[in-house]
Amino acid sequence: MNRKQWTNILKIVVSIILLAFIFMTIDIQALIITMQNAHPAWLAAALVMMIIGVVIRAIRWQVLLNALNIRVPIGELTAIYFIGFLFNNLLPSGLGGDAMRVVELNRHSPRVSDAITSVVVDRFLGLFALQAIALVALVTNWGTVPNSVAYFTIAIFIGGLVGGILLINVPLYTSLRRNIGLFRKITDIKFVGNIFESFQRYPLPALGQSFVVAFIFNIIHIIMYAFIGFAFDAPVSVAQYAVIVPITSLLLIIPISFAGLGVREESFRQLYGQIGVSPEVAVAMALMVYFIGNVCTGLIGGVIYLLRGAQNVVSEERGAQNVVSEEQ
């Protein structure tokens, strides 16, 4: 096995260990009862919001691609997003969701660099928009979350804002590289340098439009979480979701578990527990977020992927039949 396969196995092991620890420290019977008593209508509403959110994310991606003169229909980008969920959330393969999006997008653009930059910028703008929503919710509803959570949210937003300014301000970036050795060494790191180059390829209007769409998507995303909470009668306000969801989303970026399993459940237990949610309800919410946001979207992506494969086979067969008929 290669290094990537060993890494995936290690992530699965970490998820199993974390989940085992969580289940040993909560009341399993109470968790089962909580899951059984969930309100189906709210869960169905959450699933609808998730699907709408994927379409909005595809629109955000299309804005960035249009800026690079890559024209891809919104339906195709939505399908690629779902396929990405399949590889990122359900298949422990060596090809992650973002990588799969790049592969699928290459059907429409031969420039691999364009595909990569659009995925990187798309991801960053989504996270920053989520932090902006958290800050607004925090400022307008101060005191709804513990001070430690509030100050962490402010720090993350400031960090994202400073990073965003550096990413889009080319003269500032150039000046810092020329005059500050440490900054130059950091940006000489290939991964970091690629992020800066990705953003600098886009005009500011395109980044602004994409940010607005990302803001809309993340409102939908937070509403989905709230609907799941309503399904379990969790004593959480929408403002509290708006502050906590960005934190859990950041934690899930850390690639230490498979599809965030274990990390998501423990972060829910710790964060929502600080505002009065029982461990069993918090874990039930996390498991349902995984089911709706990862399993359901991954299954939809699997169906799309199979249908695309079947269509390719049919196209190849028809092409072969045409060749044979021409030869005859």
Per-residue b/e over 224-258, b at no fewer than 16 CB within 10 Å?
Answer: bbbbbbbbbebebbbbbbbbbbbbbbbbbeeeebb
Write down the pLDDT at residue 322: 44
Cβ-contact 216, 42 below 8 angstroms: no
Residue 291 lies in a domain: yes
Q: What sign does the dihedral 140-59-293-156 (CA atoms) show? A: negative
Residue 152 lies in a domain: yes
CA angle 190, 194, 297 (to 5 degrees): 115
Residue 188 lies in a domain: yes
> What is the 3-state secondary structure of 198-224?
HHHCCCHHHHHHHHHHHHHHHHHHHHH
Cα 99 from Cα 84, distance rounded (Å): 8
Per-residue tens of pLDDT for the chain, all 328 residues:
677 777 878 888 999 999 999 999 999 999 999 999 999 999 999 999 999 999 998 998 888 888 888 888 899 889 988 988 888 776 655 445 566 666 666 666 666 566 667 777 888 888 889 899 999 998 888 888 888 888 988 998 898 888 888 888 888 888 888 888 888 888 888 777 777 877 777 888 888 898 899 999 999 999 999 999 999 999 999 999 999 999 998 888 888 888 788 999 999 999 999 999 999 999 999 999 999 998 999 899 889 888 877 555 334 334 334 433 443 4
CA 245, chain centre distance (Å):
12
Residue 328 lies in a domain: no
Residue 321 lies in a domain: no
Residue 201 lies in a domain: yes
Cβ-contact 88, 95 below 8 angstroms: no
Tell me how long the chain is.
Answer: 328
Domain count of the chain?
A: 1
Residue 225 lies in a domain: yes
Residue 299 lies in a domain: yes
Cα 21 from Cα 98, distance rounded (Å): 30
Nearest-10 crossing angle of helices 112-140, 190-200: 80
Cα 221 from Cα 133, distance rounded (Å): 11
Cβ-contact 24, 199 below 8 angstroms: no
Cα 249 from Cα 132, distance rounded (Å): 13
What is the extent of the structural domain holding 128?
A: 3-312
Cα 22 from Cα 201, distance rounded (Å): 44
